Structure 1
Amino acid sequence: MSATSILVAKWPVLTRHQHAVAWLQAWEDLGRAPRTLDAYARGLAEYLSLCEREAVDPLAAGRTHVAVFVRELTSRPHQRGANVVSIESGAGLANPTIQQRLVPVRLFYDFLMEEGLRDSNPVGRGRYTPGRRGSGRQRGLVPRFSKLPWIPDERQWLDLLDVARREPVRNRVMLALAYDAALRREELCSLRTDDLDPAHRTVRVRAETTKNRLERVVPYSAPTGVLLTEYLAHRARISRARGPLFLSESRRNHGQPLSLWTWSKVVRRLALAAGVERFSTHTTRHLCLTDLARMGWELHAIATFAGHRHTDTTLQYIHLSGRDLAEKLKSGMDHIHSWRVQMLADADMPQAVMGGARDDDRFPV
Structure 2
Amino acid sequence: MSNTAEDDPAEDDAAEAGGDLGGGALEAAVVEFGRHLRAERDVSPHTLRAYLGDLRDLCAHAAEAGATRPADLDVGLLRAWLARQHAMGRSRATLARRTAAARAFTGHLHRIGALESDPGLLLGTPQRRRTLPAVLTRDDAGRLLDEMDAEGPLGLRDLAVLEVLYATGVRIGELCGLDIDDLDAGHRTIRVLGKGGRERTVPMGEPAARAVEDWLRAGRPALAEEGSGPALFLGARGRRLHPTSARRMVHARIAEVGGMPDMAPHGLRHSAASHLLEGGADLRSVQEILGHASLQTTQLYTHVSSERLKRVHRQAHPRGARDE
Q: Which of 98, 101, 107 is 2:98 aligned to?
A: 101
Deviation at 1:259, TM superposition (A): 0.8
Q: Does 1:268 align with 2:265?
A: no
- Following the alignment from structure 1 to structure 2, what is the Cα–Cα distance between the partners of residues 20 and 5? 12
Query: Cα distance, 1:15 vs. partner?
Result: 7.2
- Tell me, yes or no, if the aligned pair for 1:14 and 1:45 is still in contact at 8 Å: no
Asked if the contact 1:163/1:270 (under 8 Å) is kept, the reply is: no
Change (3 A) 1:99 1:283: same
**Structure 2 matches for 1:139-150, cutoff 5 A?**
140-150=124-134
2:19 alignment partner, SS class? helix
In structure 1, what is the Cα distance between the partners aligned to 2:190 and 2:156? Answer: 18
Structure 1 residue 107: Cα displacement: 1.1
Displacement of 1:292: 1.1
Partner of 1:187: 174
Preserved CA contact (<8 Å) 1:239 1:255: yes
How far apart, CA to CA, are the structure 1 residues paired with 2:74 and 2:316? Answer: 54
Q: 1:17 aligns with which of 10, 21, 27?
A: 27
- Aligned-pair CA distance for 1:173: 0.8
Q: Which amino acid aligns with 1:66?
A: L
Q: Does residue 81 of structure 2 align to residue 69 of structure 1? A: yes
Length, aligned pairs only? 299
Q: Deviations over 1:49-94 (max 9, x none)?
A: 2222343445334444333332443454xxxxxxxxxxxxxxx343
CA distance in structure 2 between the aligned counterparts of 1:297 and 1:100, rounded to whole angstroms: 32
SS at structure 2 position matched to 1:248: coil
Q: Kindly provide the amino acid, as one letter, of the partner of residue 63 in structure 2.
A: E
User: 1:94–1:157: structure 2 CA closer, same or farther, 3 Å change rule?
Assistant: farther
- The residue that corresponds to 1:294 in the other structure is 278
Contact map agreement 1:149 1:317 (CA 8 A) in 2: no
Change (3 A) 1:124 1:267: farther
Cα gap change, 1:238/1:149 in structure 2, threshold over 3 Å: closer, same or farther? closer
How much has 1:293 moved relative to structure 2?
A: 0.9
Q: How does 1:36-55 map to 2 (within 5 A)?
A: 36-55=47-66
Give unmatched runs, 5+ long, in structure 1: 77-91, 126-139, 338-365
> Equivalents in 2 of 1:104, 1:178: separation in Å?
30
Equivalent residue number for residue 239 of structure 2 = 256
Task: Identify if the C-alpha distance between structure 1 residues 200 and 101 changes in structure 2 by more than 3 Å, giving closer, same or farther.
Answer: same
Matched, 1:26 2:36: yes
Conservation of the 8 A alpha-carbon contact between 1:7 and 1:41: yes
Corresponding residue for residue 203 of structure 2: 219
Whole-Å Cα distance in 2 between the matches of residues 11 and 272 of structure 1?
40
1:169 aligns with 2:156: yes
Name which of structure 1's ranges 300-309 and 265-274 shifts more when overlaid on structure 2: 265-274
Q: Which residue does the alignment assign to 2:7? A: none
Specify whether residues 334 and 265 from structure 1 end up closer, same or farther in structure 2 by C-alpha distance, changes over 3 A only. same
In 1, Cα distance between the equivalents of 2:15 and 2:320?
Answer: 65
Distance 1:97 1:332 in 2: 43
Q: CA deviation at 1:294?
A: 0.9
Deviation at 1:162, TM superposition (A): 7.1
Per the alignment, residue 81 of structure 1 pairs with none
Higher helix share: 2
Distance 1:68 1:248, change over 3 A: same
Matched to 1:235, the amino acid is R
Query: Which of 267, 282, 286 matches 1:283?
Result: 267
* SS of aligned partner of 2:201: strand
After TM superposition, the score normalised by the length of structure 2 is 0.79
Structure of larger gyration radius = 1
Q: What amino acid does structure 2 have at the position aligned with 1:41? A: L
The residue that corresponds to 2:232 in the other structure is 245
* Aligned-partner SS, 1:270: helix
Say whether residues 1:121 and 2:108 are aligned partners: no
Output the amino acid matched with 2:27: H
Shift in CA distance, 116/50, structure 1 to aligned 2, threshold 3 Å? closer
Query: More displaced, 286-295 or 104-113?
Result: 104-113
Q: Pick from 308, 314, 318: which aligns with 1:330?
A: 314
Are the equivalent residues in 2 in contact too, given 1:183–1:285 (CA < 8 A)? Answer: yes
The aligned residue for residue 151 of structure 1 is 135
Greater relative contact order, per chain length (Cα 8 Å cut-off, separation 6+): 2
TM-score when scaled to structure 1?
A: 0.71
Asked if 1:112 is matched to 2:109, the reply is yes
Q: Percent identity?
A: 23
- The answer (yes or no) to whether the contact 2:15–2:38 under 8 Å persists in 1 is no
Name the CA distance, whole Å, in 1 between partners of 2:315 and 2:109. Answer: 56
Distance 1:71 1:271 in 2: 40
Verify the 8 A CA contact 1:4 1:21 in the aligned structure 2.
no
Change (3 A) 1:159 1:229: closer
Listed one character per residue, the Cα deviations across residues 333-363 of structure 1 (whole Å, up to 9, x for unaligned) are 35999xxxxxxxxxxxxxxxxxxxxxxxxxx
Aligned residue in 2 for 1:60? 72
